Amino acid sequence: MKLRKIKFTDLIIHEDEDYIIVNKPPHLASLDDRQDPVNLKLLSKQYLETSQINHRLDKETSGILVIAKNPESYRHFSIQLQERKIEKIYHAIAWGRHNFTEMLVEAPLEIKSNGKVVVSKTGKYSATIFKSLEIYNKVTLIECKLITGRKHQIRIHLASGDAPIINDDKYTGANLFLSDLKKKYKPKDEQEEVPLMDRFALHSYSLKFTHINGKELYIEAPYPKDFERVIKQLKKWG
């Protein structure tokens, strides 16, 4: 298997004596991955042996991820995470025209034996607040504020509200093609058209927490190239 060349220092958007905060690219696992020897945990350990990843993102999800440099800072962040004192904002591109204004979705989630997560009365309490940022012809750019942090929470809460994330086939989100936006568009030379993205469109955009030094720390992560490219097409044709 050919190893991907990822320079860890290129991912760093903030670093101090206690934390490293990175903008994780899509298709990079946060932790150990049987299908890929390269992961963020390995890269961070190569950069600093004492580093510990404080939370995780799905492999396809891009954006902010916090890495502690020492056990004290790891514990400090983890306590805030458990007590739901950390503000985490994601951006998603979802199917449909939706005018969400601080819409609270409370739908309990349960992990099935096959790994799929479903809304279930017997599931754990899960809550997300949604706000529309830009409404295009067929899709909407949505701000997603996590109240809880369950597995696949944003993806399922949006899908359950008839707003599945584009390219998220696991939760009813069909692929987005340029032909969906541009009238009479056809690929060149009768080639098969490919989606505008090769993953579901979810990005961990910002994070706010109390640093171990007592000060509030707020960080934003710019969109990766694939997410930015879709936004550009939407502004042009959507």
Q: Which sequence positions are flagged as catalytic?
A: 58
Query: Is residue 103 a contact partner of residue 142, using CB atoms and an 8 Å limit?
Result: no
DSSP 96: S
Measured between alpha carbons, how far is residue 93 from residues 57, 109, 158 in Å? 17, 22, 10
Per residue in 200-210, is it b (16+ CB within 10 Å) or e — as a string? bbbbbbbbebe
Residue with tokens 């609270």: 104
For the chain, the maximum distance between any two Cα atoms, rounded to a whole number of angstroms, is 60
From CA 226, how far away is CA 209, in angstroms rounded?
28
Residues 6 or more apart whose Cβ sits within 8 Å of residue 103? 129, 130, 131, 161
Q: What element of type H or E holds 155?
A: helix 153-160
- The letter for the amino acid at 181 is L
